[in-house]
Structures are given as structure tokens and as C-alpha cells.
Structure 1
Amino acid sequence: MAQYSLNFKGLPFETIWVEFPDIATVSKKIGTLPTSEKHSSSHYTLPAIHDPSTGTTIADSVLIAEYLDATYPDTPKLFPPGTLALQLAFIDAFMPRLRALFQFVVLPTNNILNPPSAAYFRSTREKAFGTTLEQLAPTGTAGEEQWAKVKEGLGVVNGWLEKGKDDGPFVLGQEPAFVDFFLASYIQWLKVIWDEDSVQWKDISSWHGGRWVALIKALEKYETAV
């Protein structure tokens, strides 16, 4: 999401990749604040940015977007005036629609990570869930039923977007905003963890008139620096 946001605004940046076990150490080193508290301890997350022009370091995609809008007012707005609450409400309503998806994505996410991150991801998730990653995803009839719920959840979101289709291809109309990059980031994640020839990605690509593939295609130019 942060990369989309920076590219949308045309702001130059350098990406530094961080392995999962190093996130807290690197975050403390560069001065980002924890994004939450878990089990009475500070929890650090990425993405984070450091802006050398102001000396500001900040984590959390929404906070980064708000900062970029405020600091670089002459660039395209991620949150056009009067839309911040609306966009955040949309995101908040969207997240429960992905609940059935979670069980399917944990193992394939682990499988694409570098070894240090994969080991950390597996150990922390298996401890949290009390089972192996391999046992998380339902199979057989149960798997088919849960996968149908994934389609149903995204179908609800598709219904929301259909109501505004005459206004433009994006949530707010003709121009993309943060919420579109938020949605596209999730779809890109699914595309990355499942290759394009997988049953899962072929399903998602075909759902709801191809909306989800069309979304990432429409925002393709913001995947890299512009």
C-alpha cells in the first residue's frame, strides 16, 4: 500500500527489505513507534517510511498516507477532502469479508518467504493457532464450503462497488484513492502467493465479472515509480 501511495504521488523512494525476525529491531533503530500492543508488549509492523526531508519516520499504511497528503499537498490526494472517514469506514467494513480467506492463505504466504522469515512466520503462527500451517486450510467438502464463503465475501464488496459503477471505475469515481490501493494490495497478495496457473487464482480472476483482475490492471502504472 505504501509503495502504491508513493508512486501515485510521484515521490521518489528507495525500498529496503526487512526479514520478519528483524522488523522490531529495525523499527526501533529507525525510530518508528509500535503500531499496537500484543500480550503486553510493543508490536512493530511494516511498511514504514523515513522521510529525509522532514526527519519523520512513521509506520502503518493509513498513517503513512495521511502524512504524505499533509506533507506534500501539491501531489494527488490519497484522501481527497471529506473522504477520510468514508474510506476508513469502507476498509473497516471490508476486512470481515476476508475472514474465510485467512485459513487458505497462511501456508502459501509462508511458502514464498525467504528462509529466515519463513521460519519465524511458521513458529509464531503455529504457536498462536495451536496447529501446523498445513492443517489450517480445510480440504474436501469443508474446503469447498469455505472457499465458497470467500467468493461470497468478495461478492458483497463487489455489490458495493457496482452501485457506483456509473461514476467511474474506482471507489470514489474516476480517480483512484487510498481505498483502491488498499483493495489492490490485497488482490496483489493473492496473486503473489498463488501463481497465475493455480486453481485459486483462476477462480478469483473469474469472479464478479473479472473485477479484481481489472482493479490491479487499472492501477498497474502505480506498481512502480512514475
Structure 2
Amino acid sequence: MSPPIVFYDIPSTLPNKSWSPNTLKTKYALNFKNIPFKIVWVEYPDIERVSKEIGAPPTSNKPDGRPHYTLPMIHDPSTGAVISDSSNIAAYLDATYPDTPRLLPEGTFGLFRAFEAAASALLTPVYPWALPASHSFLNPPSQDYFRSTREKSLGKTLEALVPTGEEGAAAWANFKAGFGKMDEWVRASGTGATYFMDKTPSYADIWIAGYVLWLKLVLPDKWEDMKTWHDGRWATLLRNMEKYEGVPE
């Protein structure tokens, strides 16, 4: 029996520890494909060190040009591969474990990248709420890192990000409209479509589910509104994905 994949995730004080939309995508993907894995928890300040230790590639560059390391990443002992970035991980899992359910239909990774870019733009209005809320659930070492790096990048405190009053109402309406666009994409696949590929779940659905679960976890009050949107589509998505949230024994 092959050794389990090592999946690197960021812990929190939430009951199941997992919270990050990006790492949730990889947890969903591994479970969807029924690939055994174990989790190694890494606090934010340790991500760069751990990435370098196991030979993980950076996922981007910092403003000053230095490499930027992020989670999720996986180490597959069966092949020796170390992969970072949730979408690259999904492509690797499909290529390396072809006898498991596919995340991305063959030949569609480029199309998925286009979807990813479009969907990411629709998610931006929620960050002023979700970033401060996420910070509150992190462990102290990660809290300090998260606050300092985000505030330096954004030029304001996390608390100052949160929109209120008419500004907040407009921003939330804009965010809802973005999910309305994604609802249109699903409905375009057919009457009564559940997923972006009608009745067949794919990595596009997992990708969105990672964000929806994140918002449910860190913004429970906002989730009470969001779960009613578009005939309850997003609550239904999480119910359908719930079986992929756990960790193998």
C-alpha cells in the first residue's frame, strides 16, 4: 500500500483547524479522489522555511522580487514530487492518479485557469470582511504574521478594512451580484444543473466550495444571508461537498 500524501495546511482555533479557502480546495480534492493523506500543520511564519526544507517551489514573487511561498503544498512519497498551489496540485493528482475520479476533464486545464481568473475577480468584494474575520481565528504566531503582512500590503489596519453603513451595503450587494454571475454559469449547463458541468462535480465546484466554506466558517452572520442566495445553491453545494471535508483515519 502506498504511503499517504503529506498535505501541508494552516491551522486555526476552529474545531477542525482547516479554514483557508486555498487549502480547503486541496483537502476536498484529495478526498474527492479518495487518495490517502495526512496533514502537517504549518503556522504562517514557518511556511517559507518548511517549503524550502522540502523543496517546494514558490508560487509567486513578493513586491521586492523575492520568492513568495504559500500553502497548500503536498509531498507525494510515492513519486517524490513536491507541488504547491491548489490548482497545480489538482492537475498533478489527475495526472499521477488517473484511475481515481477526475477533477479536471482531460485537456481543460487552460479553460479552468480562465474560470479561476474570472471567479477570483468576483470574490474580491468580500475580502474587507473576510480578512479581519480570518485573523481572529488564527493562532498567535500566525495572527502576528497575518496582520503585519496584510496591513503593510493594504496600507491600513485590518479593522479599518471593514465597510459599514451604505458603503458596506453596496459592497455586499456587489459581492452577491458576483455570485449571481456564477449562478448564471451553472444554470447555463442545463435546467436544474447542480454543478458547472450540470450533474457532474469537477474541480471548478471544489474551487468555489473552498471559498464558500471559508466564508461560512469565519463570517457566520453573513453566511445566514448568503445561504439563501440563488435558491440556496451555495448551501446545497456545501452539503454535497461535506463528505469530502474530513481526514482519513
Q: Under a length normalisation based on structure 2, what TM-score does the superposition of the two structures give? A: 0.86
**Aligned twin of 1:191:** 216
Q: How does 1:34-73 map to 2 (within 5 A)?
A: 34-38=58-62, 39-73=64-98
Aligned residue identity for 1:86: L
Inter-partner Cα distance in structure 2 for 1:225 and 1:26: 22
Alpha-carbon shift at residue 219 of structure 1 (Å)? 1.3
Say whether residues 1:95 and 2:145 are aligned partners: no
Aligned residue identity for 2:235: V
Alpha-carbon shift at residue 102 of structure 1 (Å)? 1.4
Aligned with 2:57: secondary structure?
Answer: coil
**Aligned twin of 1:210:** 232
| Deviations 1:139-166, CA, capped at 9 Å, x for gaps | 1111111111111111111111111243
Inter-partner Cα distance in structure 2 for 1:83 and 1:168: 20
Number of equivalent positions: 223
**Aligned twin of 1:24:** 48
Answer whether contact 2:44 2:142 (CA < 8 A) is retained: yes
Answer whether contact 1:35 1:43 (CA < 8 A) is retained: yes
Q: Give unmatched runs, 5+ long, in structure 2.
A: 1-24
Aligned with 1:73: secondary structure?
Answer: coil
Inter-partner Cα distance in structure 2 for 1:165 and 1:57: 38
Inter-partner Cα distance in structure 2 for 1:156 and 1:166: 16
Inter-partner Cα distance in structure 2 for 1:46 and 1:87: 20
Aligned residue identity for 1:85: G
Answer whether contact 2:196 2:204 (CA < 8 A) is retained: yes
1:155 to 158, 177, 180: 180
1:6 to 30, 36, 41: 30
Answer whether contact 2:186 2:197 (CA < 8 A) is retained: no
1:83 to 89, 100, 108: 108
Residues 68 and 50 from structure 1, CA distance in 2 versus in 1: closer, same or farther, beyond 3 angstroms?
A: same
Inter-partner Cα distance in structure 2 for 1:189 and 1:47: 15
CA RMSD of aligned residues (A): 1.3
Q: Give unmatched runs, 5+ long, in structure 1.
A: none
Structure (1 or 2) with the greater helix fraction: 1
| Deviations 1:160-218, CA, capped at 9 Å, x for gaps | 111124374111122211111000000011011123xx1x1111111111111111111
Say whether residues 1:144 and 2:169 are aligned partners: yes
Answer whether contact 1:10 1:225 (CA < 8 A) is retained: no
1:116 to 117, 141, 158: 141
